C-alpha cells in the first residue's frame, strides 16, 4: 500500500490518499481538492472518503471529491451536527458537507480496503481512528508528542483519557498518521508522549 501525505490546509492538516492495487481511499480531505485529486492515477478507482471527525479543516474538500469520483463519504454520525448545513456556524471549526454521510462501523470493507474503525471520542464526540493493516490514521485524537484539544464543542477530557487507553493496547509497531504533524508509532508515543501518562 502507498500513502500520499498532503499537509495542504491553512492549519497544516494532513490529507491522506491511500493506494492499493488500483484502488484509492481519501482520508480527511481538508482543502484543495484539485491537489488531492492530482494524486489519483487515470486507471485508479476511488472507493470512498473517510472523515475522522467533523471539523472543517478535515472535511472541506469532501464534497468536491465526492462529486468528482461519485463515491461515498463516511463519518461517525455522532459528529453530524458539525457538518449538517442546517446547524453549522455555531460550534467552532464546523463547516457544511452536503453529501449524504454514511455512518462508520467497527469493521468495514470499502472497495479493496479492509478497515478497523476505533471510536475515540474526546476531541469531538464522533472522533475515530482508522486502522488499515499496519497503519493507523488518528485524526485529531493522537499526534506525535501531543493530543487533540478537548475544550471545543463535543470535546471531553475524560473521554479522551479512555480513548488513549484504547490506543495504548494496540501493537507498538503500528504506524500512526495524525491529522496534523509528522508520523509516529504507537510504541514511540507510549514512551515519549506525556498524555499517555496523563491517561493513566
Instruction: Read off the pLDDT of residues 30-77 as tens digits, 9 standing for 90 and up.
Output: 999 999 999 999 999 999 999 999 999 999 999 999 999 999 999 999
pLDDT of res. 67: 98
Q: How many CB atoms lie within 10 A of CB 104?
A: 22
Domain with 123, as residue range(s), is 2-199
Q: Which portions of the chain are predicted below pLDDT 70?
A: 9-10, 198-200
Cα–Cα distances in Å, from 14 out to 80, 114, 118?
Answer: 21, 21, 19
Burial class (CB in 10 A: 0-12, 13-18, 19+), 156: middle
pLDDT of res. 12: 79
What's the predicted TM-score (pTM) here? 0.96
pLDDT of res. 93: 85
pLDDT of res. 88: 83
Question: Residue 17: which CATH number?
Answer: 3.60.15.10
| Gap between the Cα atoms of 61 and 77, Å rounded | 19
DSSP state for residue 20 in the 8-state scheme: E
Name the domain count of the chain. 1
pLDDT of res. 61: 96
| HSE-CB for 33 with a 13 A CA cutoff | 12
Amino acid at each position: 500500500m502507498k500513502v500520499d501525505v498532503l499537509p495542504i490546509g491553512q492549519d497544516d492538516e494532513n490529507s491522506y490518499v491511500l493506494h492499493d492495487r488500483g484502488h484509492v481511499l481519501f482520508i480527511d480531505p481538508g482543502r484543495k481538492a484539485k491537489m488531492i485529486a492530482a494524486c489519483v492515477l487515470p486507471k485508479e478507482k476511488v472507493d470512498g472518503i473517510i472523515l475522522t471527525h467533523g471539523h472543517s479543516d478535515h472535511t472541506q474538500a469532501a464534497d468536491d471529491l465526492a462529486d468528482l469520483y461519485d463515491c461515498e463519504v463516511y463519518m461517525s454520525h455522532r459528529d453530524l451536527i458539525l457538518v449538517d448545513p442546517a446547524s453549522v456556524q455555531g460550534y467552532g471549526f464546523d463547516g457544511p458537507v452536503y453529501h449524504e454521510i454514511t455512518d462508520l462501523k467497527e469493521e468495514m470493507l470499502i472497495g479493496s480496503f479492509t478497515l478497523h474503525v476505533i471510536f475515540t471520542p474526546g476531541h469531538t464526540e464522533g472522533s475515530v481512528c482508522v486502522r488499515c493493516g499496519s497503519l493507523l490514521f488518528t485524526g485529531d485524537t493522537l499526534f506525535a508528542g501531543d493530543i487533540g484539544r478537548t475544550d471545543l464543542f463535543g470535546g471531553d477530557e475524560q473521554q479522551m483519557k479512555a480513548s488513549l487507553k484504547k490506543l495504548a493496547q494496540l501493537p507498538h509497531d503500528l504506524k500512526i498518521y495524525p491529522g496534523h504533524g509528522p508520523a509516529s508509532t504507537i510504541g514511540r508515543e507510549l514512551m515519549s508522549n506525556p498524555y499517555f501518562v496523563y491517561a493513566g
